[in-house]
Amino acid sequence: SEDSQIALVVSGFFPSQAALLFAAAHPNRVRRVCVLNAPLGNGHKLPDPLGVYGRPFGMGKGAGADVYKLNYFGNEFAIPPERMEEYEKPYGSSSADAAAARDAFEATATATSLKDAIQSVTTAFSKAGRGAQKVRVVWGSADKYLGDAPMYKWCEDVRASFDVMRKVGHMPQEDFAEETAKFVAAFFESEGRVGALGSVRLGKINKDDDYDRS
């Protein structure tokens, strides 16, 4: 039933792919999906703090988990120090748990092919057909890692709707948390009334004008 379904918001490089594949495989459990700046378009690549582990001849093996660089340089505005500390905390100490977290960080980056993951997600949602979830992409267009241009084609391929947040970077939930929440809430609360959602069936991507952008 709808009461037992969840509304899913995904962001980031690897967790977003896994969450989207789960959603595509379980439409009875996930009612709607909102994507915030996740790599899904043709040409999207890993940024250097993640791509370093894939350097030829194992040259990146054992590189530190540079969470600061990964989170800081993809955004339009600086993440406050207290927030950055929370992102770095699992990896920054000399404890066994921190070492395990750093190993997991590297293992995820080396064991996962981003290109294959993107293809798997695209295929899963392209073939979903009737009864699949509504999908909305809310994109921070000032993302320094991922361009927005490939996402227009991705949205057409999977019948998703698309909206843009200007002057917002790779982590909209950090750059402008309240504004991002407004975009996400408008989609989840629309119940199919938002004009952009109705246009998806025609293969069009329009802006959502059913809520206050000011």
pTM of the model: 0.83
pLDDT of residue 130: 59
Report pLDDT for 80. 85
Dist CA 39 CA 154 (whole Å): 10
Helix pair 114-126, 149-158: axis angle to 10 deg? 40
CA pair distance 35, 201, nearest whole angstrom: 19
pLDDT at 213: 43
Hey, what are 182's tokens? 């407004």
Q: 3-class DSSP state for residue 185?
A: helix
Token couple for 150? 């490939």
Q: State the DSSP code for 4.
A: G
pLDDT at site 210: 37
Q: Transcribe 68-129 into DSSP letters.
A: HHHHHTTSSSPPPHHHHHHHHTTTSSSSHHHHHHHHHHHHHHHH--HHHHHHHHHHHHHT--
pLDDT score recorded for residue 143: 93
Nearest by Cα to 174 from 213, 143, 147, 208: 143
Contact 165, 139 (CB under 8 A): yes
- Burial class for 2, CB neighbours closer than 10 Å (0-12, 13-18, 19+): exposed
pLDDT in tens, the chain (214 residues): 566 789 999 998 988 999 999 999 998 899 899 999 999 998 999 988 888 877 764 556 767 778 888 888 888 777 888 888 999 999 888 899 999 998 998 888 888 889 999 999 999 998 876 567 889 999 999 999 999 999 999 999 998 999 998 889 999 998 888 999 999 999 988 765 545 444 433 344 444 433 444 4
Residue 202: per-residue pLDDT: 34
Alpha-carbon distances, residue 28 vs 5, 23, 131, 191 (angstroms):
7, 9, 9, 17
Q: What is the pLDDT of residue 56?
A: 61
Helices (H), the chain: 15-25, 48-51, 67-72, 81-88, 96-111, 114-126, 149-158, 172-175, 177-188, 195-199
- The confidence score (pLDDT) of residue 207 equals 46
